[in-house]
Amino acid sequence: MRTTLPKRTLFFTIALLSVSFCFSQPIPSTKEENDLPKDYLPASFHAGRRDALRQIMPANSVMVVFAYPTRTFSNDVEYLYHANPDMYYFSGYKEPHSLLLIFKDQQTDAAGHTFSELLFLQKRNAQQEQWTGKRLGTEGAKNSLGLAMSFNGESFKKFAIDFSRFDKVIFDRFPADIPRTRGRDSSDLVDLIQQFKQKASIPEDYSKEKRFDTRLYRQLTGMLRELKTPEEMTLIRKAVEISCQGQNEVMKSVRPDMSELEIQGLHEYVHKKYGAEEVGYGSIVGSGENGCVLHYMENAKTKIGNSLLLMDVGAEYHGYTADVTRTVPADGKFSSEEKIIYQLVYDAQEAAFKLLREGTRWRDAGDAARNVIADGLFKLGIIKDKTDVGKYYPHGLSHHIGLDVHDRGVSDTLKKDMVITIEPGIYIPEGSDCDKKWWSIAVRIEDDALITKNGYELLSHFAPRKIEEIEKMIAQKSALDDFKLPPLKSAEKKAF
């Protein structure tokens, strides 16, 4: 499909957009900026990722990356905004209502300026910034992110770009339910997407047109993101170590009279103490039966009691998340049934570890762990047939981690520089078709491993996995043991 412009015509009109082509001097640091973390990803990382993308993009193509939508928490309150990992990866830009274009080939505008990417971003707005914080703006994008071709989002509407001259226009599936949070402002994400659809003549059912390739978007970003760079590894190592410290501190301070929420709070306090801004997913803290809910996030039980406590909690550090699970006895000692199930999960994890190296098929590592669990449950009489293993181990072994907790990847086999989880589990809910003594036992052990040419590095080795080491850790004193708060006065009155 083509518009009236001939193929070789210069197709950009940006003269009106007051473009600056030199990188300005960095804005002098303020006192507050001196107090910020010093280990954010540098602009050179994002530029390197764009270059790597260009290497694998097909001839004469453009990739379009949209910001994630903002989301309503309640009434006029929004959830804390989380950047689209692809936008962050390729630009470093972390604000909503923005759009990034990455070109395979260098482009030239009507005035003869050359460029390979364009960022349309949130306009600076003193009034808004007083409420929601400082925006980077075009100057900031040029100075901090090295994106010389940055424009306010409202410019996109008038931006003359002939998408029909590209053989491939690569973008992700559009989210179906984007809230319009900023009124009918022409740089709202809803408008940016609409304007893109119009400019590129994208039909309602674009999945049928080969030029508009959402599959290729996932493929290319997956090819890059499944292999971690040294800069990314620095942040992932930190996220994983912080998560392990959270696990260790909780092991040292856990008592049966604590609540699930309190345990969650302790993990997340430790994360923040070490500078992790977020958790990479809702923290899962389930004691006893609650551990059987794979993604249990209510964390509502007021006393964890003497049962096993499953804690799947991952710190997110500068965008990169860990994913670490430890299952521990709240009263300090595994019961004999708990020990048997725990050891089975441990052995399954070890069987998978043995296969980790470049070239192993994901499926083979998964099968190795599953077979250990199937054999073990069969011998214990918990299942009558090994093919029933899925009843008590209903999930896969492994996934990538990175900017997403379930990070993108495309390869069937493991490759050097992948970072993956190894997370077998056994969950036996109350009422299961086996001896009652096994009921409400839930164990998951989840570790994060960097794949190397001949093996792997266990990034989450900081938190113990062996039964006796966990019991030893629980017996240790914690700084939090002496942290006492007065009882709430309002708790003395019964609500009903």
Which tokens is 102 given? 């990455």
Query: What is the Cα–Cα distance from 299 to 286, expressed in whole angstroms?
Result: 6
Residue 84 touches which of ligand GLY, Mn ion, none (Cβ within 5-8 Å per kind): none
Name the amino acid, one letter, at 82: H
Residue nearest to ligand GLY (CB): 312
Contact 321, 281 (CB under 8 A): yes
Hey, is 21 helix, strand or coil? coil
Shortest Å, Cβ 420 to Mn ion: 9
447 makes contact with Mn ion (CB under 5 A): no
If the CB atoms of residues 260 and 423 are measured against Mn ion, the closer one turns out to be 423
Contact 309, 444 (CB under 8 A): no
Shortest Å, Cβ 303 to ligand GLY: 24
Residue from the set 109, 162, 312, 316 that interacts with Mn ion by CB under 5 A: 312
19-27, 213-221, 376-384, 438-446 -> range binding Mn ion (CB under 5 A): 438-446
If the CB atoms of residues 138 and 283 are measured against ligand GLY, the closer one turns out to be 283
Radius of gyration of the chain (CA): 26
- Cα torsion 424, 429, 434, 437 to 10°: value is 100
Shortest Å, Cβ 271 to Mn ion: 15
Contact 477, 252 (CB under 8 A): yes
Shortest Å, Cβ 462 to ligand GLY: 18
Sheet holding 447-451, edge to edge: 419-422, 447-451, 456-458
- Number of residues forming the site for ligand GLY (CB under 6 A): 6
283 makes contact with Mn ion (CB under 5 A): no
Q: Which of residues 273-292 bind ligand GLY (CB under 6 A)?
A: 281
If the CB atoms of residues 260 and 323 are measured against ligand GLY, the closer one turns out to be 323
Query: What is the Cα–Cα distance from 253 to 267, expressed in whole angstroms?
Result: 11
Residue from the set 86, 323, 338, 448 that interacts with Mn ion by CB under 5 A: 323
Shortest Å, Cβ 310 to ligand GLY: 11
Nearest in space to 444 (alpha carbons), one of 407, 408, 392: 392
- Number of residues forming the site for Mn ion (CB under 5 A): 5
Shortest Å, Cβ 405 to Mn ion: 6
If the CB atoms of residues 189 and 420 are measured against Mn ion, the closer one turns out to be 420
Q: x/- site string to ligand GLY, residues 438 to 457, per CB under 6 A?
A: --------x-----------
Q: x/- site string to ligand GLY, residues 152 to 191, per CB under 6 A?
A: ----------------------------------------
**CA 355, 356, 360, 365 torsion-angle sign:** positive
**Exposed/middle/buried for 164, CB within 10 Å: 0-12, 13-18, 19+?**
middle
Residue 281 touches which of Mn ion, ligand GLY, none (Cβ within 5-8 Å per kind): ligand GLY
Nearest in space to 414 (alpha carbons), one of 237, 218, 228: 228
Q: x/- site string to Mn ion, residues 110 to 139, per CB under 5 A?
A: ------------------------------
Shortest Å, Cβ 245 to Mn ion: 17
First CA to last CA distance, the chain: 68
Complete DSSP assignment for 363-432:
HHHHHHHHHHHHHHHHHTTS-SSGGGGGGT--S-S--B-SSSSSB----SB--TT-EEEE--EEEE-TT-
Shortest Å, Cβ 461 to ligand GLY: 18
If the CB atoms of residues 63 and 313 are measured against ligand GLY, the closer one turns out to be 313
Query: What is the Cα–Cα distance from 137 to 139, expressed in whole angstroms?
Result: 6
Name the amino acid, one letter, at 143: N
Q: x/- site string to Mn ion, residues 411 to 430, per CB under 5 A?
A: ----------x-x-------
Query: What is the Cα–Cα distance from 413 to 142, expressed in whole angstroms?
Result: 39
Compute CA distances 26 → 119, 120, 374, whole Å. 19, 20, 59
Contact 277, 318 (CB under 8 A): yes
> What one-character DSSP code corresponds to residue 468?
H
Residue from the set 109, 162, 323, 407 that interacts with ligand GLY by CB under 6 A: 323
If the CB atoms of residues 313 and 473 are measured against ligand GLY, the closer one turns out to be 313
If the CB atoms of residues 62 and 405 are measured against ligand GLY, the closer one turns out to be 405
Shortest Å, Cβ 453 to Mn ion: 24
Nearest in space to 98 (alpha carbons), one of 231, 193, 232: 193
If the CB atoms of residues 312 and 338 are measured against Mn ion, the closer one turns out to be 312
Shortest Å, Cβ 229 to ligand GLY: 23
Residue from the set 95, 109, 262, 312 that interacts with ligand GLY by CB under 6 A: 312
423 makes contact with ligand GLY (CB under 6 A): yes
Residues that bind Mn ion (CB under 5 A): 312, 323, 421, 423, 446
Residues that bind ligand GLY (CB under 6 A): 281, 312, 323, 405, 423, 446
